[in-house]
Amino acid sequence: PITPGELLCLGSSLAFSGLFYYLYRKKARVVARIQEAPKLQVDDDLPALVSAADGSCLPYVALEGIVLPAKAVLTSHYHEGLQGVIQKLLLKEHRLIWNSLARSW
């Protein structure tokens, strides 16, 4: 005989397993798209390629080329000879909406 507590535990276990499997499959599809991303070289043809793309945006593209730092190269404290740069991001808001509750834009 199975008790109601055991049925509850079994049902919740199956529900959580189904949820986690769904999330796993969703992330696996994203990883597969990233791995299949085309590799482009940073050269003079890149701006024309981006402007010709749908919406002037290339989703999941791997760029290969030489990167020059804006100020100084970052060196790793943990791996000798490993260097990196920081990418500058520009955030442009297209529309500002006044939030009267928070009294902010």
DSSP state of 99: B
Give the pLDDT of the chain (105 residues) as one tens digit per residue: 889 999 999 999 999 999 999 999 999 998 998 888 888 888 888 888 888 888 888 877 888 888 788 788 888 898 888 888 877 666 666 667 777 887 777
Please tell me the predicted confidence (pLDDT) of residue 93: 64
Please tell me the predicted confidence (pLDDT) of residue 94: 65
What stretch of H or E contains 16? Answer: helix 4-35
User: How many whole angstroms separate alpha carbon 38 and alpha carbon 59?
Assistant: 10
Please tell me the predicted confidence (pLDDT) of residue 91: 65
User: How many whole angstroms separate alpha carbon 57 and alpha carbon 49?
Assistant: 9
Please tell me the predicted confidence (pLDDT) of residue 89: 63
- DSSP per position, 36-85: TPPEEE-STTHHHHHHHSGGG--SS-EEES----SS--EE-SSSTT-EE-
Burial of 12 (0-12, 13-18, 19+ CB in 10 A): exposed
| Closest of 56, 57, 61, 25 to residue 42, by C-alpha | 61
Please tell me the predicted confidence (pLDDT) of residue 27: 96
Asked if residue 73 lies in contact with residue 81, where contact means CB atoms within 8 angstroms, the answer is: no
Please tell me the predicted confidence (pLDDT) of residue 71: 82
